Structure 1
């Protein structure tokens, strides 16, 4: 799809990937509706785009029905959108037993329930041809210790994307699933950064991920997995999960040590 003059809704635009994506799509000539919860950050992003007057912002908490409706109403007032990008998300790095009920609920609400409900409500306002892109994660294809709830939500968004895409077949609306690997954003705590460094886990900049998202949109690529060896491990995990079990169990003591540091710091807040 050609992105020039397309109207695109980006949720979580005040975050690392969302902000980088706003800049990348602005450079392609798209008209953006930027969603987030941090008004100051969103206004700063808007003012630093090439054509700030072409874009609008909506402040809303997607986990609250009335707030999410504000975003749907904004889309309706614009006469609809061409592309919906479900990018908003959150994660907590900790053993399951150390995650609070609030942390678990927050991840499930924002990462899976909110985008499903928002997608349902935006569908009547989605132009044809149109696209829905759900931002997943490599952890939506590989269960990883310390991220049990986050993985559950990302496995779910991958299944939702696949099923909805088949549901909408023949309607001129495509559903894309885009799964980055570890990305350098503020979502990563100091403990996560230290763990990735010790394990030699590679990560991408938010700007690189945004450029790959743009490429996937332009090519209408239904399934995208970023990074090597992550793409290989996703395929290997689907075919021979026992082999991945053996590979990842060797990392468990390192993950556990950093997860404890992460939990201790969370408890000190």
Structure 2
């Protein structure tokens, strides 16, 4: 597909998805969200792609929020539909994806931008990054999973403080909160993301997908995460990757996983 708002780059089994609206600080508009849906759907179904790194173009912003002009005149029904569609087509799609997704936060991650990063499985930040959910300054609340994922990641008290004050936090504070796992200098951001993802990609692909589903189940309302873990654990025994992993371990060699 010929993307207008994204750059797609492949580096061996890693696919980069770069939001390419630098002049708009990579803000999420309707077209960009639509392209993200297509790009992630294709990446998750492409056997040549093992994992994804998402970042923003330029040094200033990962994603500095949503394009407010697009929904300034919406009524209740339209606002509800906006959030519901965004959840289903982009944010939940990423969170529930069958391949690991790393957010490389290279600058401002505000509003929908921070929600996009939180939908990813792992988050790294540049030392220059700043994060926040400023929606209450517009008379809104986060609508793409921010109230739920932020509380799951950093706890209810800190999440409420961030959301209710609308204050930005630095990358260092985000690391202290547990919102990001690493803070690095800007020039090392993508290298570090690649190093982590390359390590992950040495593991069994089907087991990675099972692990993502099991961890997510523990955060899902009305789902028994322990039972999901039991089920996913059992399924692993029916894979060729399990047989390969055990044989490699017993024979002291490096496994060659096929995702089967």
TM-score, length-scaled by structure 2: 0.30
Q: Between Structure 1 and Structure 2, which shows a larger proportion of helix residues?
A: 1
TM-score, length-scaled by structure 1: 0.29
User: Relative CO higher for 1 or 2, CA cutoff 8 Å, sep ≥ 6?
Assistant: 1
